[in-house]
Amino acid sequence: MDFTLDEELEAVRALANQIFADRATTERVREVEGSPGRLDEELWAELGKAGLLGIALPEEAGGAGLGLGALCVLLEEQGRHVAPVPLWPAAVGALAVAAHGTPEQRESLLPAAADGSSRLTVALEEFGPADPATPRCTARRQSDGWRLTGVKAVVPSPFGAGHVLVSAAAEGVPGLFLVACDAEGVSWEAEETTTHDLAGTLTLDDAPAQAVGAPGDGAVAWTIERAALALAAVQLGVAQGAIRHAVTYLSERKQFGRPLGTFQAVQHQLADCYIDVDAIRVCLWQAVTSLREGGDAAAAVLVAKWWAGDAGLTVAHRVQHVHGGIGVDVDYPVHRHFLWARQISGTLGGPSADLAKLGAVIAAGRIPE
């Protein structure tokens, strides 16, 4: 398959790279990581002004209508610069509302999501070895809607978000529900993550909620698949950004009167990194294409997520290694790429869990011809 980007996606890449390069400098990222909110609100506003926050949303919702592929291009550029903005949870939440929400939900939430004046986040994970596709949080139907009870773990960037999309079990099947972040029965506990972002533990005590789609209609699996590919796209950029740091360092640092980059052992390490990054890219776009064409894309998504989680973290390790002692300096830029790679690798289940799920998909014969 030819995964060359078309002119529209190349334009998205160029615009995103320009904004991130100008505003997500090492100094600025360090400054934001030390701030109370841990989010670069100025960068977020700039992305909204440029139309990038709604790049994947339908045009009738105020977006550009370019779909998941454009979002992956944007997220790859974010990962390359490790820019501290909550792009993937906000975008995945908005896409889920666009695909499964009621007309009223779409009208009230999506225009603000597209321009950045309000944002969503997603609560898909729980504590313990729980599969995100089978939540233990429960939803109870009432005459005026739904009530949710349970605990969701590591909700990404919830502080400042207006609504959160929560996966919960309703009448024995998984469903997706919209909850106002400040609703009655909703409480948050801030948790610092590996990437220095502030995540939240969400406790729901009979909290009011609206269903997004009907429980059991596949909205949860749909959202998890898009979240997995969004994370893979960020990881692709993280790995490429790490390699860029390595190339710069190895071409300038000398040993025995020669640049370190001329030593064969170092070249072999970076060659392995290049192969891993190319595999992440190919598997990501194979999965994006499979989702766009319809049908069962579960295997393609799991392969992409596994490559991103396993190979992405391996690249970060190798890059730190070739930096020598400075690679473990927590203030040196490449360390930030390692932290992002580490957290992404374990989000929505780590590589071992992905392989187990892939084995189940293959055993069930869910492999398109």
pLDDT digits (tens, 9 = 90+) for 260-307: 777 787 888 899 999 999 999 999 999 999 999 988 899 999 999 999
- pLDDT digits over 53-94, tens only? 999 999 999 999 999 999 999 999 999 999 999 999 999 999
Q: Bridge-partner residues for 163, per DSSP?
A: 120, 180
Residues recorded for the chain:
369
Q: State which CATH number among 3.40.1350.10, 2.40.50.100, 2.40.110.10, 1.10.287.70 fits the domain covering 121-211.
A: 2.40.110.10
pLDDT of residue 326: 81
Mean pLDDT calculated for residue range 233-249: 94
Q: Bridge-partner residues for 176, per DSSP?
A: 167
Angle in degrees, 0-180, between the axes of helices 67-81 and 264-293, rounded to the nearest 10 = 150
Would strands 138-142 and 163-170 be described as parallel, antiparallel, or unpaired?
parallel
pLDDT > 80? residue 98: yes
- CATH for the stretch 7-118: 1.10.540.10
Residue with the two structure tokens 């396993």: 310
Q: Residue ranges per domain, the chain?
A: 7-118, 121-211, 219-363
Q: Does domain 219-363 have CATH number 1.10.10.10?
A: no
Which residues, at least 6 apart from 162, have a Cβ–Cβ distance to it below 8 Å?
109, 112, 118, 119, 120, 180, 181
- Residues 171, 42: Cα–Cα separation, whole Å: 43
| The pTM of the whole model exceeds 0.75 | yes
- pLDDT digits over 148-196, tens only? 999 999 999 999 999 999 999 998 999 999 999 999 999 999 999 999 9
b/e map 17-42, b = 16+ CB within 10 Å: bebbeebbeeebbeebeeeeebbbee
pLDDT > 70? residue 2: no
Token code pair at residue 144: 């005026």
Residue with the two structure tokens 């024995």: 172
- Residues 136, 172: Cα–Cα separation, whole Å: 10
The two domains 7-118 and 121-211 share their CATH topology (first three levels equal): no
- Residues 181, 186: Cα–Cα separation, whole Å: 7
- pLDDT digits over 317-334, tens only? 999 988 887 877 888 899
